[in-house]
Amino acid sequence: MLAPGSTIGILGGGQLGRMLAMSAAQLGYRCHIYAPEGDNVAADVAARYTCAPWHDGDALAAFARDCDVITYEFENVPVGPLAGLPQDKLAPGIRALEVAQDRVREKRFMLEAGGTPADFVAVDHDSELADAVERIGVPGILKTRRDGYDGKGQWPINDRADAQGVRIPETGCVYEARLTFECEFSVILVRGRDGEVRFWDSTRNLHKDGILAHCELPAPAIVAEQSARARDMARKVADALGYVGVLTLEFFATSRGPVFNEMAPRVHNSGHWTIEGAVTSQFENHIRAICGLPLGDTASVSRTMVMDNLIGADALDLAGHLSDGRAHVHLYGKSEARTGRKMGHVTRIG
């Protein structure tokens, strides 16, 4: 067990790191943020902050020496530089990043674990796209293998003409079938160092322009019907990775059961409601897990809950959001309210 007063290193300076650092402080830990130059809002609530590139080996080594355990707040931290860190300090480990950073590898890993992704095929060159469309059919969606998030790096292929003239990036793409589904939902779990796994309730997730906009409990009945199978898939993935911390898998609820969409080896936007809506939040349980502490109860405190992301200028009306006495408002301290940028969230319980 990591004693209070120890230092937790967090790779990444965004809002997830910010909320992790706040939960860590509640339990008596200090946090050291490492992130490249940018709007690093996690540094505002941390004891120390190193601003340096990911590939600065000396800066990373000094950061690691100051930390008793190291975690990450987003899945696109480059794996190469992390190989030089003490691996016994890193939780979750590098393997989870290696899987999650490549959509093709992620889907193949899910198949090996007994999961069900949508039909897909890797597309590494321009000449392979037409064949992929023939094999999978239309409509479909073309996604970059790497670095896609919040709807970025995705192109709908509604008919074969849409595939003509498309240039495949050097890192490659994956073409997958577009599904008919009733709703989207997440399975969020926490796995301790002893292998114990606990799950939060699954919300119905609604997206707008590729960005998560709204989560709600209770989810439709089909989610309750399919959550046990989805949880079983998620547990197998966590066990196969030897995972420590919070892990999120996103699913489509379809007529043939839960279909895997993607994995996030971290705390997740669809779990922000757990700060007020669960006995123990995803952020606190992630800190508990990586520090070797007993896991907290993940039960929901109410049968009904909604969480809305505050995107772009929507976040600026703080007084308006707080005029609802049930509203729990979280603003992330970002300096510029750009279109499509997550600036905060608001949760309403009951």
Mean pLDDT of 45-49: 98
Q: State pLDDT tens for residues 91-148.
A: 999 999 999 999 999 999 999 998 999 999 999 999 899 999 999 999 999 999 987 6
Regarding the domain with residue range 183-349, which homologous superfamily does it belong to in the CATH classification?
ATP-grasp fold, B domain (3.30.470.20)
> Structure pTM?
0.95
Domain residue spans of the chain = 7-90, 119-177, 183-349
Could you tell me which residues are annotated as the binding site for ATP? Answer: 103, 143, 148-154, 176-179, 184, 207, 261-262
Q: State pLDDT tens for residues 233-260.
A: 999 999 999 999 999 999 999 999 999 9
The correct CATH number of 7-90 out of 3.30.70.330, 2.30.30.60, 3.40.50.300, 3.40.50.20 is: 3.40.50.20
Residues 296, 196: Cα–Cα separation, whole Å: 11
Backbone CA torsion sign across 113, 115, 121, 122:
negative
Could you tell me which residues are annotated as the binding site? Answer: 103, 143, 148-154, 176-179, 184, 207, 261-262
Q: Which of 279, 111, 266 is nearest to 201 (CA)?
A: 279
CA distances to 156, 180, 230 from 174, rounded to whole Å, are 12, 19, 23
Residues 79, 18: Cα–Cα separation, whole Å: 22
Residues 327, 306: Cα–Cα separation, whole Å: 10
Are 298 and 327 contacting, i.e. CB atoms less than 8 angstroms apart?
A: no
Residues 131, 129: Cα–Cα separation, whole Å: 5
Residues 302, 290: Cα–Cα separation, whole Å: 27
Residues 287, 295: Cα–Cα separation, whole Å: 9
Are 64 and 89 contacting, i.e. CB atoms less than 8 angstroms apart?
A: yes
Q: Are strands 7-11 and 69-72 parallel, antiparallel or unpaired?
A: parallel
Q: State pLDDT tens for residues 198-214.
A: 999 999 999 998 899 99
User: What is the token pair recorded at 125?
Assistant: 């060159």
Give the other-Cβ count within 10 Å of 271's Cβ.
28
Q: Are strands 30-35 and 7-11 parallel, antiparallel or unpaired?
A: parallel
Q: Which CATH architecture is the domain 119-177 placed in?
A: 2-Layer Sandwich (3.30)
pLDDT band at 151 (very low <50, low <70, confident <90, very high): low
